[in-house]
A = this chain, B = another copy of it.
Amino acid sequence: MKKRRKKRVLRQVTARYLARRLGLSQSTISRAFTESASIHPDTKERVMNAANSLGYQPNIIARSLITRQTNIVAVVVANLTDPFYPLVLDQLARRIQSNGRQVLLFIVPGGKRVDDVLPSLLQYKVDAIVITSATVSSRMAAVCATQGTPVVLFNRYVPGLKTAAICCDNVAGGRLVADYLRMSGHRRPAFIAGEPDVTTSLDREKGFSARWLEFGISLFAKEVGGDFSYQAGYNAARRLIAGPRKPDCIFFASDVMAIGGIDALRAARLRVPEDISVVGFDDVPIAAWPAYELTTIRQPIAEMADAMSDVLGLETPKIKQPAHRARFFEGTLVERGTVMKRVGVSLARI
């Protein structure tokens, strides 16, 4: 009986009740629950202890109607099956959370575009939207702008789209791979693309093929995976090596594709790197495993996530509207075991 009564009382604990009980003002109670508010630490602790033992929680949702901030940042992801995106999500979420905000996660269902799901996210009056592994149309970017909701594309940019973007310099990455492969003595370079119309894949190809052309060599072969998956890499590599003349190196648009490709080459009794060298892009943890030891371009995810935090002002009380421009970050080459140093070529020559 006694227990039941206690429960009923707990449900009714309000800021007013808490304030009266502690002999404090309601505004002091509110300040105790506001990360950035000025309040004596002892007072804050008293409020917190009382709130915990009485089961009081401020209603952030109600408060958001007054402050016009929900302290929620939406993160839109199209694909969690590529191991690169859980890494990205992890980094983004930690940045957002460490400043007292929460992540509203939206996974774009297969066959739907971000444009289709954004209206439902906007209903939640999130403070900002970060879109990764997918992009929006200029029409939808305009809708967000109209509503005053900042949008940041992460690991994507759309030339001409009026929105902030944070991206690895994929053109430079592609050039770096070409330099490294040429320096190691390769002469018949192939490229395997991911989704054909996505800037990450297009830019990696652009840098790669342009750099080879500067050396007087045009791409020996090219295949399109269709998506960035293991299976797409596997199938594209099979098609690429079907003919009698084979490339001496393959640059894949992503690590997981490259790993699928290595397995396809091995299944065809081709040795990596002795017969064909392979380079990936991303540096996911699997790339370092001894079964693959994949040479790849490491994306500076932590640095890019810091930039996301910067442009949105996550460390300040109020999220800001970032400048509508793309910021690019350079990847670094991670040398492992999938590129052959072909004889007769001095590494110092380039």
Chain A: residues with CB nearer than 8 A to chain B?
7, 10-11, 33, 52, 55, 57-62, 64-65, 70, 72, 75, 80-81, 83, 85-87, 89-90, 93-94, 97-98, 100, 102-107, 109, 119-125, 143, 146-148, 230, 259, 263, 266-267, 285-286, 289-292
Contacts and interface: CB of A to CB of B under 8 A. Distances in A.
Contacts of A119: 52, 57
Contact of A263 (B98, B105, B290): B290
Contacts of A57: 119, 122-123, 147
A72 B59 CA distance: 14
Nearest to A101: B120
Contact of A146 (B10, B62, B123): B10
Nearest to A59: B125
Contacts of A87: 80-81
A206 to B, nearest CB: 30
A189 to B, nearest CB: 25
B70 A230 contact: no
Given A57-B147, A61-B65, 6 more contacts: A10-B146, A11-B146, A55-B146, A102-B106, A102-B121, A286-B286
A58 B102 contact: no
24 contacts: A11-B146, A11-B147, A55-B147, A57-B119, A58-B123, A59-B123, A61-B64, A72-B124, A80-B86, A80-B89, A83-B83, A85-B86, A93-B106, A97-B106, A98-B109, A102-B104, A102-B105, A102-B124, A103-B104, A103-B105, A104-B105, A105-B105, A263-B291, A266-B290
Contacts of A65: 61-62, 65
Given A57-B147, A263-B290, A290-B263, A93 B64 contact: no
Given A60-B125, A123-B58, A109 B97 contact: yes
Given A11-B146, A81-B86, A259 B289 contact: yes
A49 to B, nearest CB: 12
Contacts of A81: 86-87, 90, 285
Contacts of A148: 11
A103 B285 CA distance: 27
Contacts of A33: 123
A93 B65 CA distance: 27
A124 B61 contact: yes
Contacts of A85: 86
